[in-house]
Structure 1
Amino acid sequence: MKTLLSYLLFAYFMPAAFSQNISGKWYGKITQQPGGYSQLYDFELDLNQRKNIWGNSYAHLGDSVEIEIGLSGYIAKDTIHLSESRDWVRYDKVPWNWIACIKNINVVYRKENNNEYLEGRWTGVSKELPYEKCIPGRIILSRTIAGLNNFLLQYRDSVIMVEVPVVTPTETLVPDFKSTFMETEPKKVTEIEVFSRDLKLQLSDYLRVDNDTVSVYLNRKLLAKDIRVSKRATIINFSLDPTLQRHEILLFAENLGQIPPNTSELLIVDGKFTHRVMIVSDKQKTAAVYLKLKSGNK
């Protein structure tokens, strides 16, 4: 008997002529071929369809992986084409040594015993290295959880039980904060003790607005790209990896604006506490703020 994974990889459904509106929530599974981080993830789509399609995708794997990305798409003949955007990453929680994929999804609609499905394939590239391809896979989605459960029940004897990755201190790779970063020297501004894993960052200009642009990195991984620093604060929500004792926020100057150097005001909101930091970066030095998660807090 075929496993669920092999069924998703090789099953073929004859698509009906497409005439359905696919707006709403879809619940399912996404596979990744051997060599990826995991063979099977929970996957959801929340879609809006008018002339074109837009919405969000959600990927989950236990408590270790939570990824939400905005997407857009269109329908051509019987195929629904959906593309996630690197600029619309809403939430990205993965183990330290994992990187999310920005996916292109091609699916077809089918109906079976009053259950509606979207089935197809995905390809993608690394969120941080757009020239690096992700290992692809397949997708099965149902309009309802009951429909998805019917699918899984039909193949209950061969469903792959994917082990959720558990990151232990011995497995955790400690980031190298001493090396240079994109040909600049990280310059420590301050170190802050925080009480919550889930934090909010607010970035705004405290001097004259002169078109400064920065990118924000957490532990050398991109959080937000090409932020135009203005009087209106840019807000970024992020989570700290509890297996790391120290975390690094870098504000890399993409350009210096009309009046060098690159200046901004950084607020780090930690529950009821707010920390204010004045930031200066240029093409030689990148401002670095270090966070220490208070032991025992989550």
Structure 2
Amino acid sequence: MKRHYFLLLLCVLMSVATTLQAQTVKGKWYGVGNVNIDGSANNYLCELILEQKGSVVTGEFNYFFRNGYFSNKIKGTYNATKRQLKINFMPMIFYKTVDAAMGVDCMMEGTFTLKASKIETTLSGRFTSDDLHTYSCAPINVKFTKLLKEVPFQQLVETEIEKQAKDTLVRPAESPIQKLQREASIQLNMRTKEIVKELEVSEDSVRIDLYDNGEFDYDTVSVFYNGKLVQHKQLLETRKPITFKVAVDSIAANNDLVMFAENLGTIPPNSALMIITDKDHRYEINLTSTYQKNAAVRLRRKKE
């Protein structure tokens, strides 16, 4: 009798667990979006971070495309009976874009179906445009997998990029410096860039001094100049600066100096004082970087 009661209770608990799982899409999801056009190799490395209250769903949709990282706040609904998630229209960069900084957006909405098994929980479906742009903005198919443990999106992107590289070609032999530059560039492009100041300089090179801004709290930064790593994982101090020089191209319209936060120190966010000096100028700029945003200064060479 007790055995029958135990089996009945177990069945009820399993049924309740399955029902609860079908009623919520809350959590962190990761997937690869593939453009639904023959011959297109472009893809989107995607992350969904969802919250749910009743049938209302809110959260973030983050994705990495070519050389850019993008983040959108999203809203939608979840129908527990149909196990269907709908995401309202939001901007996604056009799949034929070559340079993410110069791309245009397509307004896309998403429809996904929840499937749960002992092995994994997935949201499978696609992003589609409105009727007016059906032929220009192709559908993007995505199978999201629910993450059962906390894994940084950056780490997932790096893993996927490495996997794609192995699947498509044999990577040429790299020097340690080339490998470091490549891996650092991946990290750089996964965060947004905020131009804090645009400065005019007189010489073809300038001196850069970086200090911890205020109290020493173990802030560590890397610095990129025009996409190239020039300082790697340097500790910011209040008395002794990180000092280096950069050449300012007189032909290029922009020369961007980017501070990348390697950590947030003991007093977030990661903040620094950057001093830029040439023969005619001495600029002092306060910079703040986080895991989502890189602070940047744009240099322009003064025309003779």
TM-score, structure 2 as length reference: 0.40
Which of structures 1 and 2 has the larger relative contact order (alpha carbons within 8 angstroms, sep 6+)? 1
TM-score, structure 1 as length reference: 0.40
| Structure with the largest fraction of helix | 2
Q: Bigger radius of gyration, 1 or 2?
A: 2
